[in-house]
Amino acid sequence: TGIAAYTILIIAMSQARQSNAQGLRARAQYAAEAALVWANQKLSNDSTLTFSGNPDITVNGVPIDVTITGAAPNQQLHAKATY
């Protein structure tokens, strides 16, 4: 019974770690998507806007670097989350 309890404990700890990593990944993805929406709104106000690596964007505690490149109407938006 001791071995079974230990095995169950190890499995539970492993699942908790995997769940936590997936949660961080999902949180970073949602933050990056929110930053892209923000950048898209900025572009709708000023189609000549370009910038790179704005470090001041933080969504739910996740820092996001947003880059807008290219000329209107072919701008490209990129977001990178650091977690």
55 has pLDDT over 60: no
Report d(CA 29, CA 83) in Å as an integer. Answer: 10
Please indicate whether residue 79 or residue 3 has the higher confidence score (pLDDT).
79
Structure tokens at 19: 């769940």
Q: Are 78 and 43 in contact (CB under 8 A)?
A: no
CA distances from residue 78 to 7, 50, 74 in whole angstroms, order as listed: 44, 11, 13
CB atoms within 10 A of CB 81: 21
6-53 residue pLDDT tens: 777 777 777 666 666 778 888 888 888 888 888 888 888 888 877 776
- pLDDT score for 16: 67
- pLDDT score for 53: 61
- pLDDT score for 41: 84
71 has pLDDT over 70: yes
